[in-house]
Amino acid sequence: MIGRLNHVAIAVGDLEKACKLYRDTMGAKVSEPLPQPAHGVTVVFIELPNTKVELLYPLGDNSPIAKFLEKSPDGGIHHICYEVEDLIAARDKLKAGGARVLGDGTPKIGAHGKPVLFLHPKDFNGTLVELEQV
């Protein structure tokens, strides 16, 4: 069911500074900021040879990232994203096994333009997990 690691998402309080760190200090390819109003974030993708790092910056006062940064002002890892072939089948199998899907269980379109779901961190060793259909 679980596929490859798609990305690791890091919440940041200063998007420009974080982009500069990855681009200028580490020499990575950094995308342009992409506002995601449906998710309350602006995202930037750091392209690596084997995966991506997603920088998350709050978009609006009700952003879940703003709440995250209140608790962790320096930022930090927010979630990890795994690819799945069939998001609905994965959701149903995980729910049958006792995992909790956040929200109403209906996939939303993520920053890559593909359906995504999030799984409760208490069911995955304290880690918020995003599943993305490939």
State the pairing for strand pair 76-84/2-11.
Answer: antiparallel
Catalytic residue, from 54, 83, 130, 132: name it. 130
Alpha carbon distance 89, 93 (integer Å): 6
Are the C-beta atoms of residues 7 and 56 closer than 8 Å to each other? no
Residue 16 annotated to the active site: no
Cα-to-chain-centroid distance, residue 16: 18
Residue positions annotated with a catalytic role: 130
